[in-house]
Amino acid sequence: MMNREKEAGQSREGLLQSYQRGESIPLRKSLEDAYRSDSESDIDATEFLDRDPLNDYAQPAVPAYAPAQQLRKLRNAFTRRSKCLLIALAVLILIWSILAGGGFFLYKQKPADGQSPPWYPTPPGGTVTQWSESYKKAAELVKKMTLAEKVNITTGTGWQMGLAVGNTGPANIVGFPGLALQDGPLGLRFADNATALPAGITVGATWNKGLMYRRGKAHGQEARLKGINVLLGPCVGPLGRMPAGGRNWEGFGSDPVLQGIAAAQTIKGIQEEGVIATIKHFVGNEQEHFRQSWEWGLPNAMSSNIDDRTLHEMYGWPFQDSVKAGVASVMCSYQMLNNSYSCGNSKLLNGILKDELGFQGFVQSDWLAQRSGVGSALAGLDMTMPGDGLRWANGQSLWGPELSKAVLNGSLPVSRLNDMVTRVVAAWYQLGSPDDKDKKVVNKFIDVQGTGEDAHSRIARQVATEGTVLVKNEGNILPLSKDGWPALETHAINMRIGIFGEDAGEGRGPNACPDRGCNQGTLGSGWGSGAVEFPYLISPISALKTAFNSDRVYVTDFPTNSPPLKKTPEILKEQDICVVFANSDSGEGFIADAGVRGDRNDLYLQKDGDALIEEIATGCGGGKGSTIVVIHSVGPVIVDKWINLPGVKAVLMANLPGQESGNAIADILIGNQNPSGKLPYTIGKSLDDYGPGAKILYYANGVVPQQTFSEGLYIDYRHFDKNGIAPSFEFGFGLSYTTFGYSNLVVTPVLPKSPFPSPRPAGIPAPEFDSAIPDVKEALLPTGFRKLKNFIYPYINKASDIEKGTYPYPDGYDVIQPPSQAGGDEGGNPDLWNVYANVSVDVTNTGSVPGKEVAQVYLGYPDVLGEASNVDFPVSVLRAFEKIYLVANETRTVNFNLTRRDLSYWDVVRQNWVMPVEGSITIKVGASSRDFRLTGYY
C-alpha cells in the first residue's frame, strides 16, 4: 500500500498564493510523518473512504502509534544514536509538546465514542415550493450528466487549481460551468480593486437592518463582477461564546438573534445579485486552538460538546434564520460536534439541517474539513473543498476518482450522488439560470468598487460610523467643534489637539503582512481568510488633520505607543485635548503575531495600550487636559484599568471599521454624525466575569481535546444577568449626542397561545432519478487525455479498479427516521414564523439634535406557570430590535412582531418548539439589555 504524503499542518487560508506574481508558498511540514501508520495510507473508497473512524456511527480507532510500540522504537533509536542526536530528539519532543499544548503526553488516551446519534439517509432536496422550479430545471440537467460530470460538480479541482480559493469542475456535455468559490465575509480575498468593508462585528454594532442589507448587496455585486459564483460568507459561527475567540469578529455579535437577523439581511443582499451566499461555520467552531487535526500537533481536532436545547436556541438559531432567508450553501466546520467531525455528522447535517430546518441548498466542507469519503457523503456532505482530501495540494481527493469508484462498486447509492449534484445545480438556478448570468471575459483587475452615488465606499463609511459605539461622554465633551473653542478672534489658534498611539497612523501600510496577519498601524480588520487586500485605509490621523480647521485648531500626531514624553514632556503638557488610539487584534489560527496565535491570550489591549492610555490621560495638558480614547478591537476589551481616571472624558469602541476608518471616527468626533452604535457584546471587568465557559482551551485535555459547553444558554449578557455580575458596559449599550424617551407600550395578541406548532406540512415530492449504477465507461479516463499535476479529475484509470463486493453501511442506516415535527419548510415548521404577538412603543427624541436610537425587545419568563415553570430560562433574551431616526422632539411608533419561535423554547423530550401557555411571558422594551424602560405581558 502506498504511503500517504506528508500532511500540511496549515489551514486552507494559510496557503498564500499570489496569482498576480505567480509565487508559490511552501507548505508547513507536519509531525504526522514520524507516526503515520501504513494501515491508513491508502485513499481508497472501498477501504478507507467508506468509514470515518470518528464519525457518529463508529468507534474511534486507537492511534496506530501506541505507546508500547513507540517506546520500543525510541529504545532502539537510543542504542544507535549518538548523544547529540538524543539531545536533539529531546529538544524536538519538548518543542512539539509545548506547541501542542501538552498534547504529546496525551496520545496514550483513547478518544471518546461519538455522541451524536445516526440519522440516515440524507433527506432529498426539492421538497419545498420556493425551490420547485429550480429543482425541476436541475433534475432535467442532472439526468443528462455522465458519472464523471456529476463527480466534477461535487469535487473541487484542488488547492490553487483555479483563480478562486475553491473551484469545481464543469459538466461540459450538458453545459454546466465550473463554479468559483471565494472568501470571505467582509470582501473578496486575494482581489484588487475591491472594497474592504467593515467586519461583521462592526455591522452587528450598527443594529441597522438596512445597512446590513446594503452591505450584503454591495458585497454580492463585487463578487458577481469579479466572476465569483459562491461567496464564502456571512459568518455566524463562532457565535462568541468565548470573548477572546480568534474569529469572533467575522460574525455579528454574541447573541443568536442579532447574529441571525444580520445574517438574513446580508444573505438577502448577496443573493439578490445572483451570487450564492454561504453561511458558516456549522456549528460549534468557537475557538481556533485545536480546531483542525495536526494544526496544533494533535492527530484530531477538538470536540465541541453541545446539548440539544443549547444547539437549537443558541448556536443553531442564526443558521435557522439563514435557511429561512433562502441561503443556498452551508459550510460545515473543522472541529467535531459531540465527538463526530462536523462534516461527517449525520445527525447535524441530515437530521437537523436538511430535515428539521428544511435546507434545500448544498453543504460544502470547510477547506480540508472533510475527514472521510463515503462516510461524509452518506452523512449529508454535498461538495468537498478545495478537493484535496487529507493533505494540502497533493491532488489526492477523498472524492474525485474515489467517489466514482464508490458509486460504481455500490458503496455509495446512486441516489445520494444524484441528490448531491442536484442540490448544487438547483442552487445555481435558484439565483438565476445560467442564461441569466453575466457572461464576461475574466479580468481580475476589473474595478468593482462602484462610482459616484453608488460607490461602495459610501456604504463602508456609513457602516463604520454607525458601528462606532460611544460608551462614555463625561460632561458632553463630544462632539468637538472643528473650529476649536468658541473665541472672538476670527483667525487664531485656540485649541491644541494631540493624537497618540500607533493605532492612529498608517504604519507600514494596511497590506504589509499576508492576510493582515500582523498588528501594525491602525487596525481595520482581523486576520485570516476573513481578511482582504485594502484598496486604501484612511488613518485616523490623516482624517482628523483634514477635519479640523487648521486656522483655529493645531493638531499634532505621535503615531507610536512609546512617545518620547520623558524626553520631551511639553508635547503632552501643551495639549488641550488628547486623543489616544489603542487596539486588540486576533484572527485565524494558522497565523501567529506577537505571541497571539488565532485566539487572543487575554482581553487586555495589546502593545501596551493600557499603559499608553494611563500615561496620556494623567499628563494631558499637565493634568488639566481632557483625554478621548478610541479602541479598535476584534471584541470586548477590559477597560477598568483606566476608564475611571479623571482625565478620561470620552471612550469610543470603534470595532473594525474597514477602509473608511479615519473618516468614520472623524465624523463622530466633530459631530458630522451622531453616534448610534450599540455594543454587540458585553464588556466585563475581567475575563472571569464571563464565566468558566468563556475560557479558551489553550492546552489539550485529551487526544481529542474536549470543550464541553456546560453553561448551556448562559453566555455573554445571559451569564452576567444570571449571576448578578455588573459589567463595565452591557450588551446593547451605546450613548448618543441626544437623548430618547420611551412611552405607550402596547402588546397585542395576534394569535392565541398554543403549546406546539401546527402539524408538519407534507411538502412536495422530490425529483426522481434512475438509481441504476452507471456504466463504468462513464468514468474511464479518456484516451489520450493529459492530466495536470495535482489537478483533481473524476476519472478512474481502468475498469478493473472497481472491486465488487459487499460494503456495509453505517450503524443506524436502516433505521427509519420519522420527520421532525419542527420541520416542513425552509427554516423549519412554517408555523414557527407566524406572528403571535405585536409589540408597539413610542420613542421620542428628547434632546436637541437629530439622532438614531435602537429600540430593543427582550423576553423573560418569571411568570409562566404549568410545566414551563420548571424550565430554566435566562433572565432576559433579545428577540427583536429596530433602529429609527428622529429629529429633535420627534416621536415615532415602533412596531415589533414576535413569532412562535421567538416565544418558545426547545423541548428536548418532545423534540419540538414549545410555547408556554399558562401564565404570562414578560416583554421588556428599552435601550440595552439592562436599560428597560417599559414592561408588558403576553
Catalytic annotation, residues: 366
For helices 132-142 and 414-430, give the axis angle rounded to 10 degrees. Answer: 130
Alpha carbon distance 206, 262 (integer Å): 10
Alpha carbon distance 511, 575 (integer Å): 32
Report residue 919 CA to chain centroid gap: 38
52: CB partners within 8 A, 6+ apart: 58, 341, 344, 371, 372, 375, 376, 379
Best CA proximity match to 613, nearest among 653, 652, 580: 580
CB < 8 Å & 24+ apart, contacts of 97-102: 99/296, 99/297, 100/296, 100/297, 100/298, 100/700, 101/289, 101/290, 101/296, 101/297, 101/698, 101/699, 101/700, 102/699, 102/700
Amino acid identity, residue 86? L
CB atoms within 10 A of CB 192: 15
Angstrom distances, CA of residue 426 to CA of 10, 33, 771: 33, 42, 19
108: CB partners within 8 A, 6+ apart: 66, 67, 703
Strands (E), 283-397: 303-305, 329-332, 336-337, 340-341, 362-365
Find out whether 228 and 278 touch, Cβ atoms under 8 Å.
no
Place of cell 482625565: 647
Place of cell 514632556: 569
Report residue 819 CA to chain centroid gap: 29
Alpha carbon distance 62, 38 (integer Å): 14
Find out whether 645 and 618 touch, Cβ atoms under 8 Å.
yes
Find out whether 719 and 711 touch, Cβ atoms under 8 Å.
yes
CB atoms within 10 A of CB 765: 10
The DSSP annotation for 739-776 comes to -EEEEEEEEEESS---SSPPPPP---PPP----SPPPG
Find out whether 283 and 311 touch, Cβ atoms under 8 Å.
yes
Angstrom distances, CA of residue 893 to CA of 674, 743, 876, 884, 929: 21, 9, 23, 10, 21
DSSP secondary structure code for residue 10 in this structure: S
- Per the structure block, which three cell numbers stand in for 536? 486604501
CB atoms within 10 A of CB 761: 16
Alpha carbon distance 678, 676 (integer Å): 7
Residues 131-164 as b or e (16 or more Cβ within 10 Å = b): bbebbebbbebbeebbbbbbbbbbbbbbbbbbbb
